[in-house]
Homo-oligomer: A and B are copies of this chain.
């Protein structure tokens, strides 16, 4: 907090949302405000013996700064402060736009309070765009950003057909939980990979032509995936550029299933209980709550009223538009700084919490820009940032700040 105050921020600490959330604000010449999201917590640096220098004693060697949190997320945060300082220095002590910083302390445990905090403080966090906690360059050194993340609904499907396992000599009359679970799972997805829950796709927005154009420019991971994972055929026989485009296909993934005997050799039992961990990756504007309800209704209609559906986790999808002026500003300034093409991934396959900030603030665009590269060793020993990445990241942020006021 004192660091922010020294840099001219009005700072407020919020204590009733788990670890304190810090919000800093500086007004600018325009009424437009850019929001930065960062976090001050780090993953545990253990095992300590794997570090070349102690994790909490920052050390510079070979043009890089080594420390626990150097990349995730303190290096990012400091680069942003440096960019703000630089712009203020050039502009006679003021900023062309307002800046709001949100710095939380629970990112590494999944930000359980972030969505609620933003919903309840939307007014003071009002802004027209945001920059996510991190950013930087891809393995080939090109600056890049995701424009969103798929949502997710994680469930546990639990079937119990007997009070206890039975001898398989009774398999002609005793209902088998594994078979019943298998029927449930089979009802979720067709052989063409379409998800069969009625209304599942009701709110799924079609990707635009521009989304596909951006995806087609991105590196193709075909050969890498075949090599690293030994894949012979991709889902649905997908090939070449369809692999990138398929990120807009919502998925129904079996993350695990469990029933009966799992040891060596055979044991002839009828499992009393079977369960499957399933996750659905969903695209804008699918809603995990809506899908959960539709799934329950569907299973009931199929007669699977005995099958429990437990909600384990959910994240809403989020995506900015490829042609949003803020995205175009980010692209132009990145190409000025990095002198390389800027890659835009319309939506990441992963799920992220950008929605938690974007949605309560009116669906503002959120991009990534920062100091990372392909091998920061985040969450590992010898986590580091390269100093040159730090300077470029700060330069990029500074140019975004410089251009942001004029976008409206």
Contact = CB atoms under 8 A, between A and B. Distances in A.
A305 B42 CA distance: 47
Interface in A250-302: 250-262, 265-272, 274, 276-277, 279, 281
Given A254-B260, A256-B269, A260-B255, A174 B234 contact: yes
Contacts of A348: 169
Given A175-B235, A279-B268, A351 B257 contact: no
B268 A166 contact: no
A246 interface: yes
Contact of A229 (B163, B171, B250): B163
Interface string A216-236: 000000000100111111110
Counting chain B CB atoms within 10 Å of each CB, the highest count among A182, A254, A271, A350 belongs to A254
Nearest to A233: B175
A265 B312 contact: yes
Contacts of A267: 255-256, 277
A174 B228 CA distance: 12
Contact of A182 (B169, B249, B254): B254
A168 B281 contact: yes
Contacts of A328: none
Interface string A115-145: 0000000000000000000000000000000
B277 A266 contact: yes
Nearest to A222: B173
A179 interface: yes
Interface in A37-71: none
A196 interface: no
A271 B259 contact: no
A162 interface: yes
Contacts of A351: 169
Contact of A186 (B176, B182, B238, B243): B182
Given A168-B281, A173-B234, A259 B256 contact: yes
A203 B163 CA distance: 35
A89 interface: no
A230 B162 contact: yes
Contacts of A276: 178
Contacts of A265: 312-313
A270 B255 contact: yes
A246 B175 contact: no
A251 B168 contact: yes
A261 to B, nearest CB: 4
Interface in A171-218: 171-176, 178-179, 182-183, 185-186, 189, 191
Nearest to A228: B163
A256 B246 contact: no
Interface in A147-166: 150, 152, 154, 156, 161-164, 166
Given A154-B266, A186-B186, A262-B258, A253 B176 contact: yes
A83 interface: no
A164 to B, nearest CB: 7
6 contacts: A161-B231, A162-B230, A171-B279, A174-B235, A256-B267, A268-B279
The 3 closest A-B CB pairs, nearest first, are: A256-B260, A256-B261, A169-B349
Given A162-B231, A253-B270, 10 more contacts: A152-B268, A162-B229, A167-B349, A172-B249, A173-B234, A174-B231, A178-B254, A255-B261, A257-B258, A266-B279
